[in-house]
Amino acid sequence: MSAPAVLPHRDAVVAALEAVNLVVGRGSAPDPLPADRMYVAVYTAPGESVPESLADRRTDFQTIVQVTCVAPDDERCLWLADKVRAALWAPLVVAERVAYRAEEMGGPPVQRDDDVTPPLYFLPIQYMIRSTS
């Protein structure tokens, strides 16, 4: 038995998003940016291994993943959010783990980023990711 790792969980989220044809960046915007300027960026916390029982076998794992939707207007940003939700609706496939369905934790409203020209809209959505051995 080995300690649960965060990268396979992040990679499972990315794979689920790419499976619905989203352009995905890991920890930043994808490079190069898509011509339509629509993409999602996945940010992952280090997570934590947690005991499965009082025996303190730390085989369970949980982490927060933020998926930030970016688009030229708020409507397309919300469209991306719907695609993300659909992609993460089924349980994730994490190598050598049994993963649960991602738990939506919400996020703030769509916001406009005027620091780029032309402006972009973004919407960060957080998900709790859990798995066990």
Q: What is the pLDDT of residue 131?
A: 93
Total number of domains in the chain: 1
- For residues 62 and 70, the answer to whether their CB atoms sit within 8 Å is no
Residue 14 belongs to some domain of the structure: yes
Residue 33 belongs to some domain of the structure: yes
Pairing label, strands 60-71, 39-44: antiparallel
Q: Which candidate, 69, 95, 89, 67, places its Cα nearest to that of 11?
A: 95
Residue 67 belongs to some domain of the structure: yes
Residue 1 belongs to some domain of the structure: no
User: What is the residue-averaged pLDDT of the chain?
Assistant: 93
Rg (CA), the chain: 16
Structure tokens given for 13: 């989220």
Write out residues in the chain with pLDDT < 70, as ranges: 1, 51-57
Pairing label, strands 24-26, 39-44: parallel
Q: What is the pLDDT of residue 105?
A: 95
Q: What is the pLDDT of residue 53?
A: 64
pTM of the model: 0.92
- For residues 49 and 63, the answer to whether their CB atoms sit within 8 Å is no
Say which CATH number the domain at 75 has: 3.30.2000.20
Domain carrying residue 119? 6-132
Q: What is the pLDDT of residue 90?
A: 93
Residue 123 belongs to some domain of the structure: yes
Residue 100 belongs to some domain of the structure: yes
Q: What is the pLDDT of residue 54?
A: 63
Residue 49 belongs to some domain of the structure: yes
